[in-house]
Every structure is written in structure tokens, then in C-alpha cells.
């Protein structure tokens, strides 16, 4: 795999050459690296899910003649409204069309003036864009740089001679450089034809694109387009998509495998058919409802967009099992849609109740309203073995709990940092959703009450960043273990617990020797009256390798200094990127727990909520720094992880 640093080095060298050649004739005003947040991303940030469509010349039964394929598509009754309506049944907000695909014959479903591969006379892409727009959805076009499957199936799918004649020079489309030129031209043709396209979903980078500043030109020519990249976090892209990860426990908890920290836009793409290829291969596999709905829900509960792939036949229709699932999903999602759309994942930078593993075998996620910071939802995907559900309340003073589907009031109580729902039964087979309202958060000691210091810090990521109410900054231990993080209070105060949001740039289970969690494993907590004499730890133990907020309860003590000592993390020496690495977005001290029917909110009920990924979030108050900033390329590079799983480590879209 080409690393991002390697590609950056080559890009810089080529940029210098290109700029020298074209200076004065071309102005590239778009930044060298994209903004972490930008208005063009609004529709993706507001989306819950999309429908991924792999459909092309090699859709079964495969065609080797472009005209014959187009004829069979048309006479078969293809209509863009079918895809749009099926996407709406899935409650998706966008579609990604993968036809110019290496395993599907590189067909272009629009009338192209550029020879080189199949191009239709009918404008299927234009019809889809218009049909989606009419119903409030956007269409994104899949693009590949990969010519390696040019002769897959014993047929040559690329026409080097035709493209060479068009260019007036010899170009071999079966090479990456040659195919890079061909696809580069197609990017510009598409941009010229389709101003209402939502953007491009890109599988791999190509050196030709990089040396010719493709992405910068896309942002300049079509400022509303977004760019998504498959499996590799390329900073200039708006979003990284993570593909078909498996092996988690439970299997539906896809976000356990993701490694890119929010608020970076992230997407998870997965097949709805339980078996078979990403494209229609002539079979009709079943759709696993528990797995599919679980993935959709856990993605929503982690602020990850769910790109759900279905396998369209030549006429565009889905096999009966997938069509039946869409009908089922339409009715199933309607009553709980408020808990999945217009929300952020709870337990991360957006605030909210703790997700993940709960009591007695229960597991699920929480979501929090983007417009109301005290409105939350508990999604119980795997119910407990008892009639009680317990989860950490993260300091929220709960005022009511109801079953979202039925409206029935649910008995609850709060004590010692835990919200308990009792008398539960009749669990939904896929997702029991509880609506939770609260007055706010209580008992959290504001960060203004203490100063932070650490025994080790990486340059630019000092201890203060661990408690500055800004999730765009974080403390980094500079790969030093053991390491200490100290809270220096301005006066003696009662402390009951520590809350910690570790940076979500690490998988939370050991997928391989080189992909292990960099989260805290062993820890000790000390207190001191003077910051010099610490004595024995008041608490020591092991935190689970889990996403979301973590808590360490300690015996109630009045103290002016608290020390968290991390003795180990979950990454092993074979994982050189994560070994001994520790990054903490925010850490805070709790002086009291919320309790049933009592307590003072941490902020007024009427507190306003900013739009975007900031408002409901921080442990102490509004995160204006995150709400207002559009982070430029230099800042985002320091804050967005630049490496991901090796290409080919998971099942590929090939």
C-alpha cells in the first residue's frame, strides 16, 4: 500500500514541476488539503445512510457488447425512480452508483465523447441524478483508478487504440498511468455535464490525478461536490469510507473496526445480501435483518454514515429477498426514525449516555439530538437477560423515559452514575428504543477549576488539550508509558469519578497484529493535598478496549490534586503505529452523581445548540471552538489520522 506520507512527498515534487510549467495560466485556489468541515459536506453530515449500487456491463448475465447491454437495460424496464424509491424505503438520503467499476467492465452510463470503454447513448446517470433530486436525494458517482481487471472474464474491456486516437498519442489504458489519464478526462466530462451531481466516491488514488491536481480542480470547478475515499484516510477528501469489516463481537457493531477520529466525516459500506458479490451474480441470497439493522443503528450511534449495498439486476430491479427487506425496513424504521436521523452518536464528542456493553449481556448504542442537547435515545440491540437495563448516565439528570414505539412510560432510577430502567419486557427482536429526556448534566467540575499537566506530551499536543472543551485538540503521551496526567484543582473539592473520551482513531478490538487498540488498559488513580505527596493509589484496574466515554469511579475524597497514571494500553509491540500511543480528547472530574428527581442542571434547559458537530457535546458547556471553526488543511493534518488498514486486508470492492 502506498502510504499517505509517500504520496504527499510525490505530490509535492510534482506540484512544484506543474506549477513551474503552468504558472500564470491556471489558478488553483482550492486548498492543497480539504477543510475538515465545509458547507459542501452539509448534506452528508445531515445524512444517516446511502444506497450503494454496483451495476454495469458484467451484471449477470454479463454482456460484452455495450449496445446490447444498453438495449437489455432499456427493454427490461429500467427506471431511475425505482432506485430512488427503494432508497427511500431504506430511509437513505443519497445513492452511490458504481458502474465505471473495475470488476463490472468499466461501463460509463452516460453519452461520453471520450472513447476507451463502454459508453451508453441513453443518459442513465443524468436520469438518476434528476430523479433523486426531485425526491430530495443526491447521487454520487463511483470512480476507480484501477485497470488491473481490464481483461477479466476473458474479454478486453478497455479500448486503448480508440483512446489513443482521441488523444493523438499512444496511451496504454491497461497501465495505471494510462488509465489515470483516461479516468482524469472522464472526471472533467462528468463535471461539465452534471452540476447537480453530489460528488465522487473514489476507489484508490492515481499518481496521474495527483500530479495534475485533480482534487483541487474538482473543488474549484464544482464547489458543491464532495469527495469520498475508500479505506484510506486521504486528508484532501471530505470523507473516508470503510469497507465490509467483519469479525466484531457482536457482529453488527461495525464501528469497532473504524480508526478515524470524529468530527472527520466517516462512512461504513456493507452488503445487505448475506452472501455473494457486491454486484448481482445471478443469485438471490437472503438479507440478515439483525445484522443489517444492527449495522445501520450502530453506525448512527457512532455518527458514521451507513452505505448499504444492494445488487441490482440488469433491469435495475433487486432480487426478491432484497426487495422484501426494503419493504420491511420501510415500515420498521418509520416509528423510530427520530432516533436515527437528525442525531449524533452518544458517548463521544457530542455528549450523551454511554454506549456499548451494558449489564447482563445487553449491548447497544445511544443517540443524541442535534437540536436538543437533553433529548437522547437508547438503542437496545441485544437485550439483557433480565428485566432491568443499566448504563452510565454521563452526569445527565434524567426527567423521563418512554418506549419510543409505544409511548409507554418506563420506570427508572439514578444512583452512583448509573441510569437503571426497570420492569422491561417484550424486547423488539432488532432494536428496542427508549426516548430519554433530561434537564442537563450535574456534578461535573468545570475545567476552569483546574490546570492540567503531564509527565510526557508530544509537541503540539500538551496536557491542557485534554481538558479544554475542544475535541479538535487532544493530549498525546508521545508514546511514553507509564505516563501521568494530573488535574490541579484551584481548591479542595470532592471528587467521585474521572470521565475520559479517548481519541477514536484506533480500532477497539485486535483485528490483526498490526491493528490493535491504543486505548487505556491498566491504570492507577492517586490523590494529593499538595501535589507532591501522592501515597498509594485510591483506585487501580483495567479499562475495557471499547469505543465511547469511559469512567473510573473512586472513593469519595476531598482533594486538590488528582492523578491518572496509565500503565499500559492494548496495543502490542507488533503494532508499531499504536504501541504505547495514548491520545485523550477530553478528560474531566465528577464531584457528584445525578440522582432520581434531584440535582441542579449543569447548564440551563434553555441552552441554545449550535448547528454542526459541536453543540450538545462537551462535558462542561458549549464547544464554541468546534462549532464555529472551519478547520483548514494544516490544522486538520495534525488532527486527522493519516494511516489506515492495509489495502487488501479486508474484502475489496473489486
CB neighbour list of residue 654: distance below 8 Å, 6 or more residues apart: 102, 103, 146, 149
Same domain, 451 and 437: no
At 619 the pLDDT is: 37
Report how far residue 351's alpha carbon sits from residue 368's, in angstroms, rounded to the nearest whole number.
Answer: 8
pLDDT for 263-297, tens place per residue?
999 999 999 999 999 999 999 999 999 999 999 99
Cα separation, 618 vs 321, whole angstroms: 43
Asked if residue 456 and residue 541 are part of one domain, the reply reads yes
Region 630-644: mean pLDDT is 29
Confidence bin at 513 (pLDDT 50/70/90): confident
- Assess whether pLDDT exceeds 60 at residue 466: yes
pLDDT of residue 32: 53
Regarding whether 252 and 132 lie in a shared domain, the answer is yes
- Please report the pLDDT score of residue 180 as a whole number: 98
The dihedral over CA atoms of 205, 208, 212, 217, expressed in degrees to the nearest 10, equals -40
Task: Pick the last residue of a domain from 591, 608, 628.
Answer: 591
Q: Which residues of 616-635 are buried (b: 16+ CB within 10 A; e: fewer)?
A: bbbbbbbbeebbebebbbeb
DSSP characters over 302-355:
TT-EEEEEE---TTSPPPHHHHHHHHHHHHHHGGGGGGTSSEEETTBTTB-S--
For the stretch 29-71, pLDDT in tens is: 444 567 899 999 999 999 999 999 999 999 999 999 999 999 9
All cell numbers assigned to 5: 506520507
Cell of 57: 456491463
9-16: long-range contacts (C-beta < 8 A, 24 or more apart)?
A: 10/207, 10/210, 10/211, 11/210, 11/211, 14/207, 14/210, 14/211, 15/211, 15/213
94 lies in the same domain as 116? yes
- Regarding whether 78 and 44 lie in a shared domain, the answer is yes
pLDDT digits (tens, 9 = 90+) for 168-225: 999 999 999 999 999 999 999 999 999 999 999 999 899 999 999 999 999 999 999 9
C-beta neighbour count of 272 within 10 angstroms:
26
The reported pLDDT for the residue numbered 603 is: 36
pLDDT at position 33 = 66
At 611, the pLDDT band (50, 70, 90 cuts) reads very low
**Considering the domain boundaries, does residue 247 fall inside one?**
yes
Rounded Cα distance between 311 and 381, Å, is: 26
**C-alpha 543 chain-centroid distance:** 24
Of 569, 591, 613, which residue sits at a domain end? 591
Angle at 428 between CA 425 and CA 432, to 5 degrees: 85
Q: Assign residue 153 the CATH number of its domain.
A: 3.20.20.80
User: Do 272 and 360 belong to one domain?
Assistant: no
pLDDT band at 4 (very low <50, low <70, confident <90, very high): very low
User: Grid coordinates in use for 578?
Assistant: 499504536
**Dist. CA 184–CA 649, nearest whole Å:** 27
What's the whole-number mean pLDDT along residues 380-395? 98
The answer to whether residue 601 is domain-embedded is no
Question: Do 238 and 331 have their domain in common?
Answer: yes
C-alpha distances in Å from residue 417, one per residue of 90, 380, 497: 37, 19, 9
Q: Does residue 607 lie in a domain region? A: no
Average pLDDT over residues 338-359: 97
Using a pLDDT cut of 90, give the percent of the chain over it: 82
User: 10 Å Cβ neighbour count for 334?
Assistant: 10
Cβ atoms within 10 Å, residue 298: 29
Question: Do 430 and 459 sit in the same domain of this protein?
Answer: no
In a domain, 606, yes or no: no
Kindly report the average pLDDT of the chain as a whole number: 88
Q: What is the average pLDDT across 394-401?
A: 97
Same domain, 34 and 99: yes
580 and 436, same structural domain?
A: no
Torsion 156-186-227-28 (CA) sign: positive
Tens-digit pLDDT profile for residues 552-572: 999 999 999 999 999 999 999
pTM comes to 0.88
Residues 307, 372 within the same domain: no
- Could you tell me the CATH number of the domain that includes residue 373? 2.60.40.1180
Q: Which of 284, 306, 336 is the last residue of a domain?
A: 336
Helix or strand or coil: residue 125? helix
Residue 332 has pLDDT above 90, yes or no: yes
Residue 653 lies in a domain: no
Domain that holds residue 542: 445-591
Q: Are residues 465 and 420 in the same domain?
A: no
pLDDT for position 91: 98
Is residue 557 a part of any domain in this protein?
A: yes
Report if residue 618 sits inside a domain. no
Report residue 230: phi and psi, to 5°: -85, 115
Q: Does 634 map to a domain?
A: no
Task: Note the pLDDT of residue 610.
Answer: 31
CATH of the domain at 463: 2.60.120.260
Tens-digit pLDDT profile for residues 467-499 = 999 999 999 999 999 999 999 998 999 999 999
Count of domains for the chain: 3
pLDDT at residue 19, rounded to an integer: 35
Measured between alpha carbons, how far is 185 from 193 in angstroms, rounded to an integer? 13
Of the candidates 171, 242, 167, the one whose C-alpha atom is nearest the C-alpha of residue 507 is 242
Is residue 138 over pLDDT 80?
yes
Amino acid at each position: 500500500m502506498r502510504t499517505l506520507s509517500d504520496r504527499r512527498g510525490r505530490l509535492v515534487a510534482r506540484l512544484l514541476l506543474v506549477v513551474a510549467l503552468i504558472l500564470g495560466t491556471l489558478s488553483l485556489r482550492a486548498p492543497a488539503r480539504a477543510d475538515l468541515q465545509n458547507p459542501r459536506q452539509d448534506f452528508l453530515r445531515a445524512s444517516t445512510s446511502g444506497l450503494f449500487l454496483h451495476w454495469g456491463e458484467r451484471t449477470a448475465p454479463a454482456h460484452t457488447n455495450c449496445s446490447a447491454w444498453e438495449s437489455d437495460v432499456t427493454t427490461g424496464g429500467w427506471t431511475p425512480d425505482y432506485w430512488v424509491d427503494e432508497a427511500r424505503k431504506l430511509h437513505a438520503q443519497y445513492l452511490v452508483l458504481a458502474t465505471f467499476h473495475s470488476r463490472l467492465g468499466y461501463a460509463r452510463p452516460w453519452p461520453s465523447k471520450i472513447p476507451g470503454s463502454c459508453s451508453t447513448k441513453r443518459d442513465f446517470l443524468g436520469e438518476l441524478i434528476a430523479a433523486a433530486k426531485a425526491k430530495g436525494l443526491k447521487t454520487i458517482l463511483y470512480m476507480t483508478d484501477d485497470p488491473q481487471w481490464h481483461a477479466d472474464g476473458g474479454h478486453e474491456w478497455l479500448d486503448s487504440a480508440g483512446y489513443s486516437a482521441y488523444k493523438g498519442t499512444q496511451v496504454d489504458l491497461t497501465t495505471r498511468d494510462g488509465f489515470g489519464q483516461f479516468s482524469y478526462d472522464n472526471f472533467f466530462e462528468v463535471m461539465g455535464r452534471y452540476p447537480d451531481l453530489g460528488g465522487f466516491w473514489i476507489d484508490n488514488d492515481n499518481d496521474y490525478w495527483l500530479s495534475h491536481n485533480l482534487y483541487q480542480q474538482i473543488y474549484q470547478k464544482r464547489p458543491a461536490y464532495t469527495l469520498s475515499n475508500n479505506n484510506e484516510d486521504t486528508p484532501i477528501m471530505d470523507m473516508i469510507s470503510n469497507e465490509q469489516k467483519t469479525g466484531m463481537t457482536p457482529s453488527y457493531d461495525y464501528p469497532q473496526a473504524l480508526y478515524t477520529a470524529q468530527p472527520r466525516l466517516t462512512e461504513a459500506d456493507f452488503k445487505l445480501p448475506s452472501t455473494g458479490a457486491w454486484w448481482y451474480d445471478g443469485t438471490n441470497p437472503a438479507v440478515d435483518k439483525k445484522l443489517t439493522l444492527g449495522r445501520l443503528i450502530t453506525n448512527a450511534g457512532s455518527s458514521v454514515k451507513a452505505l448499504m449495498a444492494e445488487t441490482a439486476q440488469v433491469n435495475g430491479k433487486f432480487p426478491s429477498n432484497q426487495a422484501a427487506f426494503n419493504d420491511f425496513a420501510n415500515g420498521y424504521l418509520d416509528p423510530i426514525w427520530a432516533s436515527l436521523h437528525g442525531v449524533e452518536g452518544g458517548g463521544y464528542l457530542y455528549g450523551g449516555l454511554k454506549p456499548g456493553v451494558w449489564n447482563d449481556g445487553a449491548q447497544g448504542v445511544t443517540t443524541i439530538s442535534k437540536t436538543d442537547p437533553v433529548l437522547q435515545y437508547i438503542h437496545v440491540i441485544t437485550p439483557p437477560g433480565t428485566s432491568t437495563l443499566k448504563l452510565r448516565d454521563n452526569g445527565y439528570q434524567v426527567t423521563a423515559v418512554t418506549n419510543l414505539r409505544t409511548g409507554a412510560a418506563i420506570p427508572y432510577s439514578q444512583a452512583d452514575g448509573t441510569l437503571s430502567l426497570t420492569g422491561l419486557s417484550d424486547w423488539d427482536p432488532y432494536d428496542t428504543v427508549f426516548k430519554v429526556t433530561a434537564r442537563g448534566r450535574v456534578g461535573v467540575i468545570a475545567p476552569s477549576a483546574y490546570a492540567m499537566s503531564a509527565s510526557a506530551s508530544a509537541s503540539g499536543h500538551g496536557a491542557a488539550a485534554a481538558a479544554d472543551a475542544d475535541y479538535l485538540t487532544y493530549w498525546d503521551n508521545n508514546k511514553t508509558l507509564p505516563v501521568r496526567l494530573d488535574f490541579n484543582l484551584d481548591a479542595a473539592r470532592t471528587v467521585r469519578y474521572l470521565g475520559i473520551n479517548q481519541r477514536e482513531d484506533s480500532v477497539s478490538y485486535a483485528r490483526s497484529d498490526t491493528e490493535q487498540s491504543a486505548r487505556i488498559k491498566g491504570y492507577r488513580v492517586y490523590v494529593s493535598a499538595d501535589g507532591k505527596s501522592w501515597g498509594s493509589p485510591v483506585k487501580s484496574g483495567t479499562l475495557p478496549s471499547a469505543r465511547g466515554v469511559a469512567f473510573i469511579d473512586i472513593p469519595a475524597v476531598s482533594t486538590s490534586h488528582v492523578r491518572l497514571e496509565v500503565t499500559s494500553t492494548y496495543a502490542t509491540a507488533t503494532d508499531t503505529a499504536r504501541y504505547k500511543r495514548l491520545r485523550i480528547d477530553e478528560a474531566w472530574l465528577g464531584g457528584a452523581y445525578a440522582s432520581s428527581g434531584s440535582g441542579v442542571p449543569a447548564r440551563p434547559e434553555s441552552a441554545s445548540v449550535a448547528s454542526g458537530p459541536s453543540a450538545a457535546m462537551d462535558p462542561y458547556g458549549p464547544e464554541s471552538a468546534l462549532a464555529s471553526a472551519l478547520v483548514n488543511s494544516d490544522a486538520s493534518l495534525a488532527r486527522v489520522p493519516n494511516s489506515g488498514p492495509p489495502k487488501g486486508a479486508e474484502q475489496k470492492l473489486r
